[in-house]
Amino acid sequence: LLRVLDIHNCNFPPAAGNGNCSPAHRAFPRLTHLSLKEVGIVEDVLEKMVSNSPRIEAMVLDTNSGHRHLRLSPLPSLRYLLVSARCLQRSELQHVVLEGAPNLEKLLLEQEFYAPSLRIIGPTKLLNTLGYLGTVIPILHLGTSTFNGIVPVSLVEQFPRVKILALMMPEPNLNVVIGYLKCFPCLHKLHIKFGYSWLHLKGAEIYDKIAPIECLDRSLRTVVLRPYQGLVSHVEFANFFIERAMVLELMKFGDCGGWTSTTEWAQQQRMCLNIDNRASKSAQFCFARDLPPEFFMGQGFSQEVPF
């Protein structure tokens, strides 16, 4: 029986009078992995395909067309969901509702110019990896909390099981980041990607420098910032974590460009960042000319941490 279905660059016919004749309307009771990439498929056909496959554990929806709204349910075995809209001209998806997925562990959102709104209905108590959250996602409803773009606007609950978070921001804003840190009190790894023109740091003048933030005091071990070019705003933003993260083990500065070819530049950055006065004396700091691509569509159903 079919367990893995990976379809790329094709079109499904819409359901005819006898919809059960369509391949997408067949039942796939053993299917565990479903990937649709650049596929033209209408809403009712895709929803029927999913509802006929109750054992799906991993699902990839990558830049598909033919549907604007999707309601996917029930998916009691789903652990891994990736939604991507990498090409605005080819993807029409505007809104996704996921219901009945209590075992979801990884929610991965790839975005460049736009992404659909997403609503998760029901408990997500096992969710441990989330990202990228960013400005091109209009609205994310996660349980009883709402994120509007990059800003958490209605936080009714915390998410203590989330260990890995990735943010995509046009420029650094400490207030926004602090809001996220408070949402995820047991965070282990934070990956932040900024626009290449981030010259000014926002929120630095109004945040409370001594207010307790649980994950900074107890759990945050890895921070990745990219790109980093040593500008004053870059240094100020990084200093927030250097001075506050009590159990930090590794801080990576990525996409530094040709600057990293000189030992003098790296030494100068260590002085500017005041690393000797770091909160975690065991923390290591790494400056990299390039980091691996931040996303992973070519890896298929890889369960490795993508950030």
pLDDT of residue 172: 80
Is residue 205 exposed (0-12), middle (13-18) or buried (19+ Cβ within 10 Å)?
exposed
Strand-pair partners of 36: 7, 61
pLDDT tops 50 at residue 17: yes
Q: Average pLDDT for residues 267-282, to the nearest whole number?
A: 94
pLDDT in tens, 83-106: 987 665 555 788 999 999 999 999
- State the DSSP string of 73-137: ---TT--EEEEEE--TTT----EEEEES-TT--EEEEEESS---EEEEES--TT--EEEEEETT-
298: confidence class by pLDDT, cuts 50, 70, 90: very low
pLDDT of residue 72: 95
What is the chain's mean pLDDT, rounded? Answer: 84
pLDDT in tens, 212-232: 899 999 999 999 998 888 888
Cβ 129 vs Cβ 161: under 8 Å: no
pLDDT of residue 7: 93
Q: Average pLDDT for residues 150-170, to the nearest whole number?
A: 80
More confident residue, 86 or 190: 190
Dihedral over alpha carbons 254, 258, 259, 262 (to 10 degrees): 120
Ramachandran bin of 270, using left for φ above 0, alpha for ψ from -120 to 50, beta for the remaining angles: alpha
pLDDT in tens, 125-149: 899 999 888 766 778 888 788 887 6
d(CA 142, CA 123): 9
Is residue 183 exposed (0-12), middle (13-18) or buried (19+ Cβ within 10 Å)?
buried
Q: What is the pTM of this model?
A: 0.89
Q: Average pLDDT for residues 268-276, to the nearest whole number?
A: 93
pLDDT of residue 255: 83
pLDDT tops 70 at residue 15: no
Longest dimension (CA), the chain: 72
Residue 287, both tokens = 């400056």
Strand order in the sheet with 151-154: 69-72, 95-99, 117-121, 139-142, 145-148, 151-154
Residue 97, both tokens = 């509702």
Residue 302, both tokens = 């890889």
Residue 259, both tokens = 């600057």
pLDDT in tens, 27-55: 788 999 999 999 999 999 999 999 999 99
pLDDT of residue 23: 55
d(CA 106, CA 59): 11
Q: Average pLDDT for residues 67-76, to the nearest whole number?
A: 93
* CA-closest candidate to residue 177, choices 115, 125, 220: 220
pLDDT of residue 268: 92
pLDDT of residue 74: 92
